[in-house]
Every structure is written in C-alpha cells, then in structure tokens.
Amino acid sequence: MYGISKSTKDIVTLVNVGDQLKLKLFNEKNPESQGLNKVSYTITFPNLAVNDGEPYKVCIMSTDNFKLKCENGKNSPLDRPEFVDINVAGKSSEKG
C-alpha cells in the first residue's frame, strides 16, 4: 500500500486465492509504520497449490469510508512472490 498520510485511518487488506482468504490490519498508530507513506505485507498461503495463471484478488478497505479498492492478478510461472501495489489515497484500476 502506498499513498499513506497522517489522515489515513485503519485499513484492512484482504487477499483471496482460490477458496482461501487472508486479512491484515494496518493501524496508523503502529510504531513500525509511523512516518512512512507506504507499507508492505507478505501474505502466504501454506498448503495451497496455486497453479500458473491462477487468479487472485487483493483488496483494501479503509475504516474511513468502508469502500473496497481491489486489484486482480494472476499467479506468475516464476518461482517468486507476487506483488500488488494499491494507492490508499487514489482510485484503483478496478471496482471491488
């Protein structure tokens, strides 16, 4: 997530792969993220085989307005983590 400012409220990050969903809460008062305009999370799905090209969805929801901002992706054939950037302050490329 990027575009974080002093006025950013708590943000829930949701990641969906197949039939599994993981959540992570960003709290603006977390000392690890204070003063940063971006935050990175690593979210893993142990014991889930994700095939090449399989879709996934990453969404964020601010407690300020409870609107979802989502980005879709497809699992790469490369043996590396997937990356998704979502602008907290701006509009995403897709409606959730």
Domain range spanning residue 13? 1-76
> Residue 85: inside a domain, yes or no?
no
Q: Record the pTM.
A: 0.79
Rounded to whole angstroms, how far apart are CA atoms 87 and 85? 7
Is the model's pLDDT at 35 over the cut of 70?
no
CB-based contact 75:53 (threshold 8 Å): yes
> Residue 89: inside a domain, yes or no?
no
**What does the block give as tokens for 87?**
């602008």
Most confident range, picked from 21-30, 44-53, 54-63, 87-96:
54-63
> Residue 16: inside a domain, yes or no?
yes
Task: Give how many domains the chain has, as a whole number.
Answer: 1
- CATH number where 52 lies: 2.60.40
> Residue 10: inside a domain, yes or no?
yes
pLDDT tier, 15 (very low <50, low <70, confident <90, very high otherwise): very high
